[in-house]
């Protein structure tokens, strides 16, 4: 075997099974705290085109902005801090910055400012932080977290002035940013537009692509199979199949066709048509949750299929994965979750990260 293949990094995959009707279902919490998402993929067996209600929900996904060379201190300016940031629902992520090489910045919707910076930047800023959990014995990266809702960060306060001075005078960090806001309001919209007017920016809508796959072998899933011993379609095998379908990889190879082959896991069923729909952009958790709720209603009327799936891909270079958990790139930057919905309102939740990350919640 080629030596490099023996060094493939391990990954973390956490799986759970529950029901939407269970009062202690934690799915909403998992979805709402996976803040930075760039792609959502739907796979619906025995479906040729998106149902009108589903297409309507996708069309309501929030627009987002790409702002060029935005200084980080702008998030702390009094008017913006009071009327936008502290009202919550603002998502900001530095654009095209590499988490293992560049200074990467994120503003979470709960008003936490995350600065993942190299050692030189950290020392110049002079702000309190902690060594990245992905540092070696000699730390080369640091993470600074500033709670912008804390009383000490009230404009005019001593700590507020120190943080603002560090980011504005001592080391004016700036980056291209993706921005999106879930909550709207007259004052907040006014202040946000005022910020945008001072910089080069452009607004975008998520991009939707759909195609129908014909005569496809699909796994025959039942909700009880997630941890069952009789089903060869374990979570890893199912996710591999989803990846093959999404990337147009054939799952019907004969054993003699190639040196290495891939086939749909057993048990499987021949399906005449399968809908694959992808939405790409800077996607908010609130919109994804609305999509999930509409997918639940897909089974209100009888359907030939007993399941469908939704996969949400996080940004590889986001400084966080779920909540404020630090995210590392390692070799692939894995950062995603998949939900399989069943017609009886059961669901599987599969959460995956790279080997560096802590176990998903």
Q: Give strand pairing partners of 93.
A: 106, 178
For residue 3, the SS3 value is helix
User: For residue 214, which of 267, 268, 276 has the smallest C-alpha distance?
Assistant: 276
Is the separation of the CB atoms in 42 and 213 below 8 Å?
Answer: no
Is the separation of the CB atoms in 345 and 296 below 8 Å?
Answer: yes
pLDDT digits (tens, 9 = 90+) for 1-40: 445 545 555 568 888 999 998 877 889 999 999 999 999 9
For residue 270, the SS3 value is strand
Whole-number pLDDT of residue 1: 44
Q: Give strand pairing partners of 213.
A: 274
DSSP assigned state of 134: T
Is the separation of the CB atoms in 358 and 13 below 8 Å?
Answer: no
Q: What are the Cα distances from residue 130, in Å, to 101, 161, 171, 330?
A: 17, 21, 18, 19
Helix (H), strand (E) at residue 8: none
For residue 92, the SS3 value is strand
Q: What is the DSSP string of 17-34?
A: EEETT-TT--HHHHHHT-
Q: What are the Cα distances from residue 100, in Å, to 114, 317, 354, 356?
A: 15, 8, 14, 12
At 305, list the tokens: 């299929």
CA–CA separation, 226 vs 228, rounded Å?
6
Is the separation of the CB atoms in 245 and 309 below 8 Å?
Answer: no
pLDDT digits (tens, 9 = 90+) for 143-191: 999 999 999 999 989 999 999 999 999 999 999 999 999 877 778 899 9
Other CB atoms within 10 A of residue 356 CB: 20
Q: What are the Cα distances from residue 170, in Å, to 73, 112, 124, 126?
A: 11, 21, 7, 9
DSSP assigned state of 288: H
Q: Edge-to-edge strands of the sheet including 64-71? A: 130-131, 141-147, 112-118, 104-107, 90-94, 174-181, 64-71, 201-204
Query: pLDDT (tens digit, 0 to 9) for every residue of the chain, 361 residues total?
Result: 445 545 555 568 888 999 998 877 889 999 999 999 999 999 999 999 999 999 999 999 999 999 999 999 999 999 999 999 999 999 999 999 999 899 999 999 999 999 999 999 999 999 999 999 887 778 889 999 999 999 999 998 999 999 999 999 999 999 999 999 987 777 889 999 999 999 999 999 999 999 999 998 899 888 777 655 444 467 888 898 998 888 877 776 665 555 556 778 888 888 999 999 999 999 999 999 999 999 999 999 989 999 999 999 999 999 999 999 999 887 778 899 999 999 999 999 999 988 778 778 7
């Amino acid at each position: 075997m080629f030596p490099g293949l023996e060094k493939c990094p391990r990954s973390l995959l956490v799986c759970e099974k529950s029901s939407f009707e269970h009062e202690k279902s934690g799915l909403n919490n998992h979805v709402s705290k996976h803040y930075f998402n760039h792609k959502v993929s739907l796979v619906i067996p025995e479906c040729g085109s998106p149902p009108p209600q589903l297409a309507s929900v996708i069309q309501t996904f929030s627009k987002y902005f790409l702002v060029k060379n935005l200084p980080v201190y702008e998030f702390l300016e009094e008017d913006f801090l009071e009327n936008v940031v502290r009202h919550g629902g603002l998502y900001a992520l530095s654009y095209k910055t590499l988490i293992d090489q560049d200074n990467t910045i994120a503003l979470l919707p709960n008003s936490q400012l995350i600065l993942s910076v190299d050692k030189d930047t950290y020392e110049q800023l002079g702000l309190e932080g902690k060594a990245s959990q992905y540092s070696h014995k000699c730390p080369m990266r640091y993470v600074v977290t500033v709670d912008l809702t804390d009383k000490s960060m009230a404009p005019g306060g001593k700590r507020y002035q120190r943080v603002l001075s560090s980011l504005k005078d001592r080391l004016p960090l700036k980056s291209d940013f993706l921005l999106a806001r879930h909550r709207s309001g007259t004052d907040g919209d006014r202040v946000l537009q005022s910020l945008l007017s001072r910089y080069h920016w452009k607004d975008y809508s998520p991009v939707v692509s759909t195609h129908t796959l014909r005569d496809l072998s699909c796994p025959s899933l039942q909700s009880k199979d997630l941890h069952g011993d009789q089903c060869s379609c374990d979570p890893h095998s199912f996710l591999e199949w989803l990846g093959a379908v999404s990337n147009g990889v054939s799952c019907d190879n004969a054993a003699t066709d190639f040196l290495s082959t891939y086939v749909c896991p057993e048990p499987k069923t021949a399906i005449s048509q399968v809908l694959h729909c992808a939405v790409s952009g800077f996607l908010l958790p609130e919109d994804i949750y609305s999509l999930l709720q509409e997918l639940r209603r897909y089974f209100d009327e009888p359907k030939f299929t007993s399941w469908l799936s939704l996969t949400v891909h996080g940004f590889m270079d986001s400084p966080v994965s779920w909540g404020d958990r630090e995210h590392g790139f390692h070799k692939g930057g894995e950062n995603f979750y998949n939900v399989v919905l069943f017609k009886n309102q059961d669901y599987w939740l599969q959460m995956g990260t790279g080997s560096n990350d802590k176990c998903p919640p």
